Amino acid sequence: MSLEKKRQRDRRSQQNLRDKKSKHTAHLEEQVAHCKQHHGDHAVQRLLEVITGLREENGSLRNRQNILKSLVTSWDLETDPVMPGRASLDKSSLHTDSNSREAPLSFHAAFHGPISSNGNSNNNRGSTCTPATGASAMETQSSSEASSTKSTPLWCQIPPHTDDFSGPPNLISCPWFCYPEKVTPCPDTPGSPLDILYGTKTNALADMIRTALQRRPIRDPERLAMGWLAYHLSRWFLNPTSATYERLPVFIRPVQGQIEAPHPLVLDFLPWPRLRVNVIRQWHLYCDNRDDLFGMFACCMKIRWPWGEDILERDDNNELQIKKKFYDTFTKPEGWGLTPEFTARYPNLVEGMDIREVLFELV
């Protein structure tokens, strides 16, 4: 009798287990069917398109808001005695001297490019580059804008840039401008050349420039020279005053061709004024392959410095500083050179330059 009861209990247990499995299987089948119906490739693609459209619309609205902010701010800046005769708004009007009154404009707005006809920001992506940002844009400058630029002090004439630093950092360009809260408080000059060569935890701008330069296989002399110039040019962009402008070597200061045409900010870091203008005018030809162009620049731009000679020396406090002879070399245009590989591949970019003075032969 007890054996029969045990068999009945076992049969009931097995039946209950089968029922549970059957219900669970039916529930999983319902979930799979729902996923196939609502989360197929077509549905996911449609959702991605909606997300992309919303992001573009949000970016367009944000850029238009910044344009309105800068326009409102310009009403006050046009009456500023430091910039008399200001006829039109340019990027320099979005910055003020650190000793002057505080302008109610965010750092990002100062680096936003113009809005295209479709409402999108003309940033540095290849899809938005057109010949209109090259020579034609400079040729169509009005006489009133040109006269206004001439009447403005050089130290506050910030070139107009097409970058959108309100989004994720661009690894190819100047990612440190995406973090104004970190780089704005940095000193106007690095405390040590080691900050550029090996990084630092106390100077965010120097550390980010060092990280960006690590992407390219360049020697320490070029790394320090490029980083040192990039640091001081960035400090002027962040805090355009006569003091930060005077720290810039003359050949790295913007020339008229840079002031007239909107362009990616990274082009302002090239060491030859004529080369900068040539690249800006022809940027529509290279924006889709910008990484190849910058890779050639990194490999072919050289400092005229003897191989193996020290670039640092000890000061009276036994601290490492840039060797004076090396500093005097990279702060002059004749201290830089381009290898024949670059001039052969991009002859149009060195047009108007004395190739005999620029050419650098590796020995």
Candidate from 68-82, 189-203, 250-264 with smallest mean pLDDT: 68-82
The first and second tokens of residue 301, run together, are 């731009």
List alpha helices for the chain, DSSP H: 2-38, 41-77, 107-110, 135-139, 143-151, 180-183, 193-198, 204-213, 220-238, 242-246, 256-260, 273-281, 283-286, 290-300, 324-330, 340-345, 355-358
In which band, very low, low, confident or very high, does the pLDDT at 33 lie, cut at 50, 70 and 90?
Answer: confident
Q: In sequence order, what are the residues at sequence separation of 6 or more whose Cβ sits closer than 8 angstroms to the Cβ of residue 346?
A: 293, 296
The pLDDT, as a whole number, for residue 318 is 93
Q: Per residue in 242-273, pLDDT tens? A: 999 999 999 999 999 999 899 999 999 999 99
Q: Which of 1-5, 198-202, 340-344 is predicted least confidently?
A: 1-5
Quick one: average pLDDT of 4-24?
86
Question: Percent of the chain having pLDDT more than 90?
Answer: 42
pLDDT in tens, 134-154: 444 344 444 444 555 557 788
pTM across the whole model: 0.61
Nearest to 103 by CA among 134, 73, 148: 73
Span 50-58, average pLDDT: 82
pLDDT in tens, 324-358: 999 999 999 999 999 999 999 999 999 999 888 88
**Position 323 confidence tier, pLDDT thresholds 50, 70, 90:** very high
Q: Per residue in 284-296, pLDDT tens?
A: 999 888 888 998 9
pLDDT at 266: 92
Res 64: pLDDT: 77
Report whether pLDDT(114) > 70.
no
Using one digit for the tens of pLDDT, what is the confidence trace for 16-28? 888 888 888 988 8
Residue 332 gets which letter from DSSP?
A: S
Across-strand partners of 301? 338
